Amino acid sequence: MPVSESLSTLLYELAMANRIVAHEGVLDAFGHVSIRHPSNPSRYFLSRSRSPELVEVADIYEFDLDSQPVVTPKQAMYSERVIHGEIYKARPDVMAVCHHHAPSILSYCITGEKPVAVYHLGAVIGTDPPFWDQHDEFGDTNMLVQKPEEGASLARALGNHSWVLMRRHGATVVSTNLRELVFRTIYGARNAEYQTQAKLIGKVNALTPGETKMAGTLPLQPNTTSRAWEYWSTRLAKRGAMPAQSAKRATAKRSAAKRSAPKKKSGGKKR
């Protein structure tokens, strides 16, 4: 069964989102972006294990919420994909997830000091973002979130927030759609950068809770996110780093293979 044109376009935008967030300095060789299936909330899409700036549509697999691929993969998968599956389980409202280790955010993950919104676009982090310490529940680990129970613990710490900081690891960001997620991820990292720079000059004057709440609605405005998306995608195109256009029009065989594969007949001799 061929994938619909709308789903094909969404998967292409997922490949773009990985590349944009990498091109803007938030993702590097590691980290990942996913989207929930638009018509099947018990599934989500995520690339195979690959550097985000190289992700193509052909790299994207469909997963159930236990983070098992729907079609047996031929390549290695991200070991931390349970981050996505467990958050989608816990938060029906979440349609897109990004996990990253942006340098600007890591300073806060290391020190334990929480970032605050210091300018209007930085309000995307919200007020008092939670801080998850994996050691509290699981003791010494390799710091990766690989077990379902670890992903579920992270999802509980996230709660109803749009961000969760991870002790000496990075951050996980969620949103109600992919473009809004990219906006929140990039400007959240920028906010942390500006907060740190401001500390070198003097006292940090954060937005008030009311200002943070009101300015935090900016990415909910379609014109805001579309304007930013156009800017970032144009920068990506000028660099010659867009995903292959042919992949956008191709059928996503992996996501449809299980549904379209003919049923095996029982009995009979093997030839």
Cα separation, 75 vs 254, in Å, equals 12
Residues 13, 24, 62, 80: which is the catalytic one? 80
Nearest to 126 by CA among 135, 116, 136: 116
Which SS3 state, helix, strand or coil, does residue 120 take? helix
- Alpha carbon distance 230, 183 (integer Å): 11
Active site residue 80: yes
CA dist 216 and 202 (Å) reads 25
CA distance 8 to 252: 7
Q: Where are the beta strands (DSSP E) in the chain?
A: 32-36, 43-47, 60-64, 96-100, 131-132, 163-166, 170-175
- Single-letter residue type at 259: R
Active-site residue numbers? Answer: 80
